[in-house]
Amino acid sequence: MDFDTPLFDSVLAETWIRAIAAAVEEEEALLTELDSAIGDGDHGSNLRRGFAAVLSALDGLQPTGPGAVLTKTGTTLISKVGGASGPLYGKAFRAIGAALPEPAGPATLAEALAAGLDAVRILGKAEPGDKTIVDAWTPAVAALRAAAAAGATLPEATAAAADAADQGARATIPLRARKGRASYLGERSTGHQDPGATSTALLFRALADVAHN
């Protein structure tokens, strides 16, 4: 075992969540614009409000491990965000949290994030290609797993995941939505990047950024 490899611990977990909160605040206008094109324009405000509530919830928390931070994040998102994304991201963070009782290296983190993806898919029943969160999250998990299997460090593995999530989000542009509000538009949902896939890419980019520092 390489003891120089940084681990995903409770400090990094909290730093990650704070970085997501900052990113969704910074990119609120973009997320709103994307959701205005194929949804109801609330994705940016949903996530900004949700993560602001998460930050307050984390202020009083004495985490027992990285999982405790993520479980609290998920529970708060479920209770504070009304849109489809609240329960989906909420369940995802709760599943990630349940899989991370202790500080984790890249392989364990990959499996935890895979459990998060499973939770999204169980609740939302979206397949890859349906133009949802799943389209960014699936390639991110695949890249993280592959990097971990190849012996990558946490910064390397999470950077690969962030790049894959970005590509996955961009690849939703030509897709026709088959789940969520955007599916009501049918063919007219093509030609726009999916807001949820875009916020998932922000979430993985935030992870890579904090793992790097």
List interacting residues with Mg ion (CB under 5 A). Answer: 35, 39-40, 42-43, 83
- Decide: is 196 part of the binding site for ligand ADP (CB under 6 A): yes
The residue type of 30 is L
Which segment (64-72, 101-109, 148-156, 192-200) binds ligand ADP by CB under 6 A? Answer: 192-200
- Decide: is 169 part of the binding site for ligand ADP (CB under 6 A): no
- Decide: is 43 part of the binding site for ligand ADP (CB under 6 A): yes
Structural tokens at position 15: 């730093």
Q: Choose between 14 and 35: whose C-beta lies nearer to Mg ion.
A: 35
Q: Choose between 26 and 127: whose C-beta lies nearer to ligand ADP.
A: 127
| CB distance 75 to 90 below 8 Å | yes
Cα distances (angstroms) measured from residue 83 to each of 35, 44, 86, 89, 180: 12, 11, 6, 10, 10
Nearest approach in angstroms of CB 24 to ligand ADP is 11
For 117, which DSSP code? H
Q: Choose between 37 and 61: whose C-beta lies nearer to Mg ion.
A: 37
For residue 134, give the nearest of 93, 79, 179, 77 by alpha carbon: 179
Angle at 203 between CA 202 and CA 204, to 5 degrees: 95
Chain positions contacting ligand ADP, by CB under 6 A = 35, 39-40, 42-43, 46, 83-85, 88, 120, 124-126, 132-134, 179-181, 194-197
